[in-house]
Amino acid sequence: MELLTYISENWPLIMEKVLEHLSLSVTAVLLACLLGIPVGFLIVNNKRLAKVVINIANIIQTIPSLALFAFAMPIFGIGSKPAIFALFLYALLPIIKNTLIGIRNVNPATIKAAKGMGMSKFQIMFNIEVPLAISVIMGGVRIATVTCIGITTIATLIAAGGLGDLIYQGLGMYNVEMILTGAIFSALLALAADFILGIGEKLLTSKGIVKED
């Protein structure tokens, strides 16, 4: 009950934190899409390069998030910039990897048929590969988004704001309601984002494709 009272009394603050949280994660994921998806397409035909890129992204993924925020600070100072940068790096791996997998899973016969019908490389990419890989690519975006929303809670430590503020302040003051509010809302945010992206994925995927779960 006290939790509900806290939430209703602090609604404007909570919403502000939710928006901050969202803008950090979404900006990072969008940037990662802008870079990651084209990179995926560019390296798909070069196995060695693909391996190198995936390895780099893997290494980034293994760096603890707090450490990555710390690394970003000397370059970008404190605030949202280093946070977005670090989140962006985290989002890259699932997006590049899923783009690669998505394109590689396109039946070679389909590509060959398209080529034999006189489609240019670009036409093949936009008319065949993207639509066929879109559900897998979207899967990567979903994973990246959920991960980023989770990690953004730590971004409070480099003064980037977000729901982490509530959790850490709550911890400092031993205010359980505050802690729980931060935790619950970040979890809800992740669930909601995943749900919405799931709908987007469905809308973008042709009815002709059955997704294998």
Partner 1 sequence: MIKLENVSKSYDGITNVVENLSLTIAEGELIVLVGESGCGKTTTMEMINRLNEPTRGDILIDDINIKDLDKNSLRKNVGYVIQNVGLFPHKTIEENISTVPRMCKKNKHEISDKVKELFKVIELPYEEYAHRYPRELSGGQQQRVGVARALANDPDIILMDEPFSALDPITREQLQEELLRLQDELNKTIVFVTHDIDEAIKIGDKIAVMQDGKIVQYDTPENILKTPVNEFVEEFVGKDRLWKTPEMLSAKDVMLDPIVEIGPNRSVAQAIEVMKKRKMTVLAIVDSTAKKPHKLLGLVGANRFYGIFDNSIKMKDIMKTELNKIPSDMPLNEVMELRTEKKIHTSAVVDENDGLIGFITDTSILNVLNEIMPESEDY
Please report, as ranges, the residues that interact with partner 1 according to CB under 8 A: 107, 109-110, 112-120, 123, 127-128, 131-132, 205-210
Among residues 62 and 206, whose Cβ is nearest to partner 1? 206
Q: How far is the CB of 13 from partner 1 (least distance, A)?
A: 46
Chain-centre distance of CA 72, in angstroms?
A: 18
Rounded Cα distance, 20 and 33, in Å: 20
Among candidate residues 125, 102, 130, 93, the one with its CA nearest the CA of residue 211: 102
CB contact set of 61 (below 8 Å; sequence gap of 6+): 90, 93
Nearer to partner 1, 74 or 116 (CB): 116
Closer CB to partner 1, 64 or 108, in the complex: 108
CB of 113 to partner 1, least distance (A): 3
d(CA 210, CA 78): 45
How near is the Cβ of 96 to partner 1 at its closest, in Å? 22
- Euclidean distance between the first and the last CA atom of the chain, given in angstroms as a whole number: 40
Q: What residue type is 106 in one-letter code?
A: V
Q: Contact at 8 Å (CB) between 137 and 156?
A: no
The amino acid at residue 58 is N
Q: Using CA atoms, how far apart are residues 34 and 44, in angstroms rounded to an integer?
A: 16
Number of residues that this document lists for the chain: 213
**Locus of tokens 């940037």:** 31
The nearer residue to partner 1, 131 or 150, going by C-beta atoms, is 131
Identity of the residue, 45 or 58, whose beta carbon is nearer to partner 1 in the bound complex: 45
Q: How far is the CB of 131 from partner 1 (least distance, A)?
A: 5
- Closer Cβ to partner 1, 2 or 212, answer by number: 212
Task: Return the SS3 of 38.
Answer: helix
For residue 135, the minimal CB distance to partner 1 (Å) is 10
Least distance CB 108 / partner 1 (angstroms): 9
